[in-house]
Structure 1
Amino acid sequence: MKFALASVVFALILGFAVRSVPAQEKIRVAIPLFPTAAFPVLVANDRGFFQKEGLTVEPIRINSAPTTYQALISGDVHVAAGAPTGLLPSHLQGADIVVLGSWDNLVPYVWVTREKLSDIRELRGKKVGVNRAGSKPWLIIQVLLQDAGLDPVKDLTLLQMGGGSQERVSALMRGGIDATLADALLEPIMKKRGFFVLRGKPTPFMNAPIGVKRSYLASQRSTVKKFVKAFADATRFIVENREGTMRPLIQMLNTDDTEVADFAYQYLHANAEATLYPPDDAVKNLIRMSAYVDRKLGAISANRVVDLSILDELGTKRNQRVPK
């Protein structure tokens, strides 16, 4: 009798425990191969912010923005994080992708050169390595050069090459090119390899959009809201908690060099926008840069591609700043 009573009590306790654990909704998120622009996704998984919201998030690394948005349109992934350059071209294909926020809103590159330069205009006559036409580095180079008064066609030679920053740096080491853009987080590594680094003026650019299909937002709004909340919590954690951020950061960088890791954290800490509200100029510059791929993209309005209503519902204040 006592055994039977104990069994009933145990079953009731177990049943209560099972019911008290929220069901985990699964979301697949496309992130870049080198996922600096999607770093809060890694932090949210590492620190349990997604799990707290009842989400199981699977990050899927994809090497190019066009492939990222193909996966989003087909439903292979539910969210695209940190892929700005494929956003507007997807609209020309009839896709209705909207941005829910962006935590990184500056051009994320530095110039790396074989010779010491004091001004971008000194690139005149040089060979500059760049990704394929339409890629993020290609678009940004067009704007940075023109803002400096240089014609990307007449004043220098742009050499297209596949891969990311590492491939362009390899070409720089071989002497095949004189300069290139590299991820800003790699600045200490570039200097240790004997290259020179030239920082341009901070240029607004929506570098880390959170993109979803409008139809997915409409049908799964509560799930999307949980994702955005956890993403924002992770971004705030990055700003406020250096020690807790270092483990996923070191894993992402794949380095045990403390100087590189410290520099990377300081960069992310300084540039993180924890409210996730992208500045108007950052959105406008993304549209402006996309027009270099197709002039029609320059006519797309910001209201068509940006929907910040989730942030409004979460009570985030547009001008609120996390102390740094």
Structure 2
Amino acid sequence: MQSLGTRFFWSVLSLLILISVMLSGCNLNLGASSASDDMKLKVAIDAFSSSFLPDFVALDKGYFQAQGLTVYPVPFQTEPTSPQMAEAIHSGAIDVAIGGLVTEAFLVSRIDADLKVIGQLQVAFPNDIIVSNKFLQQTGLSESSPLEAKVKALVGKKIGVVSTTGQTGAFVSYLFYLFGLNASKDATLVPVGNNVSSAIAALKSGRVDALSFFKPTGEAVQLQKVGRMLISPLRGDVPQLTGHLNSVFYAKASLIRAKPNTFKALVRAIAMALAFIQKYPDQAAKILQKYTHISDQAATAVMQDLRSSYPSSPIVDQQAYNVTAAFDIKAGLLSAVPPFNAIVDTDTAAQAMQGFTPVV
């Protein structure tokens, strides 16, 4: 039986695809058939968050240009919900999601079998459960409390999320699932948008008791002394999520075939960005601050945890893929996940990296 979030996704997506088909009938969508290997890509990301730091680094350090590639528009276009990104890729409104969640790619592939994941940006689960000071006072919990006690303390609470159908809402569902609870019945998920400042404001005002939000929201909350990160997978609080394949870049296979040199250049640019993050974490923190508009202190604090979340290679790791597949099913996002080889194009990334050493 499909969850409410899944039904909502497909109803919205069906409408968007219908509009796309109507537009294509008017010859407004040229599609991959007209593409040339011109070293240009129209791109989008999900949000200005730590999950997509390699994109920000590649742009800021000029690595796209260094590989002869032009990505546009800049600043990056955002498609903040899965249905919007799905429609944009499916219709050809954008060429590649250079920053999307792998769960989103699973959903897109169900209506467009041509979709392929090309490479990885982050292998970790960078969401936290962040609670107010009042919550901590009432429950007596701390970061070192058992996971079960932390999760059960969220029962009956208002939890702020980016959206109830996305990963932040799914994280709450997953945690409740681990202890025999149902997030849709045992808590209230409150959409607060994908802006860090608005999320913190909701926690500060008491509109919500807790947040399920991407990094570096938790670090910003702690620096402002509004609350604390109660559950953090990056800290090891949820062992089942260790090695989670979080953010990836993906496009239609037909476009990848039409523009092989363009996509190989994209892979190499991302490889350079990943190498930069490992070599210069302090500088990477400043780039994160620039694009997410958090404080310098928050950016520095979050990089201590995040550095290990960025892989050394853009080639997708199959074990990380399997961790995400298990999460998506248990969180109720999907009833089944496509096999690794059906959706991941490892050839393009492998060919791009053959004989290439990113020097930064």
Provide the residue aligned with 2:238 in structure 1.
Answer: 201
Q: Percent identity?
A: 24
- Deviation of 1:60 after TM superposition, in Å, equals 1.8
Deviation per residue, 1:122-159 (Å, 9 max, x gap): 223333233433212112222122124433244x2132
Alignment of 1:2-81 (within 5 A): 25-58=39-72, 59-81=76-98
> Structure 2 CA distance, aligned partners of 1:254 and 1:171?
18
Task: Kindly indicate whether the alpha-carbon contact (under 8 Å) linking 2:89 and 2:96 is maintained by their aligned counterparts in 1.
Answer: yes
| 3-state SS of paired residue (1:172) | helix
Unmatched segments (≥5 aa) in structure 2: 1-36
Provide the residue aligned with 1:133 in structure 2.
Answer: 164
> Structure 2 CA distance, aligned partners of 1:105 and 1:316?
22
- Deviation of 1:246 after TM superposition, in Å, equals 4.3
Task: Kindly indicate whether the alpha-carbon contact (under 8 Å) linking 1:112 and 1:181 is maintained by their aligned counterparts in 2.
Answer: yes
Verify: 1:214 aligned to 2:253, yes or no: yes
Deviation per residue, 1:276-318 (Å, 9 max, x gap): 24443432243344442442xx15222211121123224469x
Verify: 1:260 aligned to 2:298, yes or no: yes
Task: Kindly indicate whether the alpha-carbon contact (under 8 Å) linking 1:73 and 1:95 is maintained by their aligned counterparts in 2.
Answer: no
Cα–Cα, structure 1 residues 122 and 315, in superposed 2: closer, same or farther, change >3 Å? same
- Deviation of 1:236 after TM superposition, in Å, equals 0.8
- Deviation of 1:51 after TM superposition, in Å, equals 1.0
Task: Kindly indicate whether the alpha-carbon contact (under 8 Å) linking 1:88 and 1:287 is maintained by their aligned counterparts in 2.
Answer: no
Cα–Cα, structure 1 residues 148 and 164, in superposed 2: closer, same or farther, change >3 Å? farther
Task: Kindly indicate whether the alpha-carbon contact (under 8 Å) linking 2:39 and 2:68 is maintained by their aligned counterparts in 1.
Answer: yes
CA RMSD of aligned residues (A): 2.7
Task: Kindly indicate whether the alpha-carbon contact (under 8 Å) linking 2:118 and 2:316 is maintained by their aligned counterparts in 1.
Answer: no
Deviation per residue, 1:182-219 (Å, 9 max, x gap): 22212222112321211232513321111111111111
> Structure 1 CA distance, aligned partners of 2:161 and 2:203?
11
Verify: 1:284 aligned to 2:322, yes or no: yes
> Structure 2 CA distance, aligned partners of 1:56 and 1:112?
38
- Deviation of 1:234 after TM superposition, in Å, equals 1.0
Task: Give the one of 187, 194, 202 matched to 1:164.
Answer: 194
Q: Could you say which structure has the larger radius of gyration?
A: 1
Deviation per residue, 1:25-52 (Å, 9 max, x gap): 2212111232422221221122121111
Task: Kindly indicate whether the alpha-carbon contact (under 8 Å) linking 2:156 and 2:188 is maintained by their aligned counterparts in 1.
Answer: no
- Number of residues of Structure 1 aligned to a counterpart in Structure 2: 293
| 3-state SS of paired residue (1:83) | strand
Provide TM-score, normalisation by structure 2. 0.73
Cα–Cα, structure 1 residues 315 and 245, in superposed 2: closer, same or farther, change >3 Å? same
> Structure 2 CA distance, aligned partners of 1:53 and 1:113?
43
207-216 or 260-269: which moved more? 260-269
Unmatched segments (≥5 aa) in structure 1: 1-22
| 3-state SS of paired residue (2:94) | coil
Verify: 1:83 aligned to 2:115, yes or no: no
Task: Kindly indicate whether the alpha-carbon contact (under 8 Å) linking 1:129 and 1:161 is maintained by their aligned counterparts in 2.
Answer: yes
Task: Kindly indicate whether the alpha-carbon contact (under 8 Å) linking 2:164 and 2:189 is maintained by their aligned counterparts in 1.
Answer: no
> Structure 1 CA distance, aligned partners of 2:58 and 2:126?
21
